[in-house]
Amino acid sequence: MIEQIVFDLDDTLLDTYRQLVPKATRDACLAMIKEGLATDLETALKACAEREMKKPRHDLFTSLVSRFGIREGADPLKVAGAGSQAFYNRKVETDIQLFPGTRELLGELREKGYPLHLVTQGHRPTQEEKIRILGLEPYFDSIHHVDPKQGERKRDAFSRVMARTKLTPMSYLSVGNRIDTDIAEAKELGWQTCWLRYGEYKHMTPTLPLERPDYTIENLKELPQKCQL
């Protein structure tokens, strides 16, 4: 039986894919071109869109460098780094919004007695700013940050949730849009998992047994019924 629910933030509660990714991608391409990527903005953006269908973003910036090359005198590492920097370390727009109905859903789950936790991955100040703008803090019993650049993994945060609440692994449900982190790393601990198939990772198909979610939904609103909450 599910007793505790752990949510991811980007593309699970917040529509990052539509609200933040297009502008961040454009800024990243511009920064790379400025640093020496040998192409123009339109071509670079097209390459990003094509790639997304096949492979999500990790090492997008290095792959752009290999695909287009760099102008004479430029440093390939610096070009890729400029893209990553422009993409991840950004000021969060103040008009970001949760998926419609999310606030109500979180409220209902709390009313039903489920403690909720938030585990979010990314550049910490950016993630904190999103949480602040969205006013998410009151809904969650605990909030955990995971910065992959510091070698941190979601699994560590999931373990911290379990250490605090001390239930059997099957009592936890991880809800998120990435099968490699939100699903596989939760399943490593024996948790139940629900894959929200949305955003740039929705084309990924589970290859490892650990990446196979217990439940799959395409809209967060389906969660209570699907997982019998």
Whose Cβ is closer to Mg ion: residue 114's or residue 130's?
A: 130
Q: Which residues pair with 193 in a beta bridge?
A: 174
Nearer to Mg ion, 68 or 130 (CB): 130
177 contacts Mg ion (rule: CB under 5 A): yes
The least distance separating Mg ion from the CB of residue 114, rounded to whole angstroms, comes to 20
- Encoded one letter per residue, x for contact with Mg ion by CB under 5 A and - for no contact, window 80-119 reads ----------------------------------------
Q: Which is nearer to Mg ion, 68 or 198 (CB)?
A: 198
DSSP assignments along 65-120, one per residue = HHHH-B-TT--HHHHHHHHHHHHHS-PPPTT--BPTTHHHHHHHHHHTT--EEEEE
Report the residue from 5, 6, 8, 157 that binds Mg ion according to the rule CB under 5 A: 8
Sign of the Cα torsion 153, 151, 179, 219 reads positive
Q: Which two tokens stand for residue 41?
A: 């903005």
Q: Using CB under 5 A, which of 5, 7, 11, 33 touches Mg ion?
A: 11
Residue 228: how many CB atoms within 10 A of its CB?
8
Binding of Mg ion by 10 (CB under 5 A): yes
In the bound state with Mg ion, the residue whose beta carbon lies nearer, of 65 and 118, is 118
Residue 78 or 103: the one with the smaller Cβ distance to Mg ion is 103
Q: Helix count (H) and strand count (E) of the chain? A: 10, 6
What are the percentages of helix, strand and coil residues in the chain, rounded to 5?
50, 15, 35
15 contributes a contact to Mg ion by CB under 5 A: no
Q: What's the CA gap between 159 and 156, in Å, rounded?
A: 5
Stretch that binds Mg ion, among 2-10, 62-70, 99-107, 138-146 (CB under 5 A): 2-10
Using only C-alpha atoms, the chain has a radius of gyration, in whole angstroms, of 19
Stretch that binds Mg ion, among 11-19, 21-29, 47-55, 134-142 (CB under 5 A): 11-19
What is the contact surface with Mg ion in residues (CB under 5 A)?
Answer: 8, 10-11, 177
